[in-house]
Each structure stands twice: as structure tokens, then as C-alpha cells.
Amino acid sequence: MKMRIAVLAAISTALLMMPADVNSQTPQKASTFTIAGHEGEAQLIKVNGKSYVEIEALARLTQGTLSFKANQTILTLPPADSVGQAAVPHPKAGLSTAFIQASIEELSVIREWRVAIVNAVQNNTPLGEEWISSHHRLADKNLALASAAASTDDDHSAFPLLTSEFNNMQKLSDLYLAMRKEASFISPDHFDTSLEQQVLSCAQGFVSITENHVFQDQAACH
């Protein structure tokens, strides 16, 4: 850190001690000047074989501040730890808008999937495997999109609940297909309504999370 300050001070001194007629001399082609570990760049101008950077640009690159006292120009650099903290922002609290939208899309597909199976059992109207497979693929895709959209701590805490909802819906769907293969008629009394109720309760609890934009654990999703 001391070496970096010394280098920057030397650059600043060189800028302040530029000859008065430097502007009258012909500058060579400008290149860029960067500082390792800092974002941004500044123009580096070579005049008569020497390189110069504006003091203001140097202060901007180092996130420093300039002050003036009598005939002195002072460049104050921020503490090293504050620079590191600025480079790594803390995740925002609450559920992000992108994650909420992706989760709602996932729950919408799962709801249609669940309702179709429940109606098929109650009304004895068989569902085709292709229809079920298409909803499985869509729900799987939406779950991946929700995972990609997760950006906050609350998003990452809520995602396992959404995954559990998908897995339970898959179990319910597999149960229906297995019973359908064994018999042409499925009695509603023999269908696992507790699993179906769990899927429904988890979805309702997750919707309340998205409405409040704050994560709250949902027992029905476990």
C-alpha cells in the first residue's frame, strides 16, 4: 500500500511540475492508463518521451479525493479495506422481481398439472402420458429459469421450497400413471389425496412469500 501511494504521489508530482509551455509542444498518440485492482481507465499522453495523466483522472481511478492548500495539491486515497468492500456489494434483502416472476410461472404450470390429474381421478377421464410429459418438461424448464434468476439471499432460501414442490408434483404424477397402468378405473378413495394436498398447500404458502417479497419457510413444502 505504501509503495502504491509513493507511485501515485510521484505521478501527481510529475503532473504538477509540468513545464508551462507543455501545451505548446506536440503530444504524441494517446494511450490508456489503468491501475490494477481498480475499474476504469484514463488517457495517458506522451510528450517529449514523458508520460502524463490528469490528476483528476488519477483521483477518479483510485476513488480518492483532491484537496488544495496554498500551493499544494493533495491526493487522499481511501483505506484499502473500504475499496475491497465497495468491489463486493452485499446481496439485496428480500425476493427479487425476476425470481418472483420465474417462480409464478413455475407454480402456474404445476397448478395446471395438479388440477388435471385430480379431475382425471374424480371424473374418470384418463390423461395421456404425452400431456403429462409435456408439463413435466415445462415445469423442469421453469425451475431452471427460477434458479438462474435467484440473486438475493431470500431467493436462494426460497428456491429449495420451489424444487420440493416440483418433486412432490412429480411423485403425484408418477403415482397416477402407475395406478392408471394397473386399472382402467381409479377410485378417488384409493388415490393419495394427502400428497395432492401437500402440493396444494406448498403452492399456497409459496404464493404468500411472493406477495410479501420476503422469505418465510413453508412446512408443507418439506
The verdict on pTM exceeding 0.85 is: no
Grid cell for residue 201:
398447500
Report the distance separating Cα 8 and Cα 166, nearest Å: 57
Mean pLDDT in residue range 52-63: 79
pLDDT digits (tens, 9 = 90+) for 119-131: 998 888 888 899 9
Contact 124, 177 (CB under 8 A): no
Whole-number pLDDT of residue 16: 44
Mean pLDDT in residue range 187-192: 73
Contact 76, 133 (CB under 8 A): no
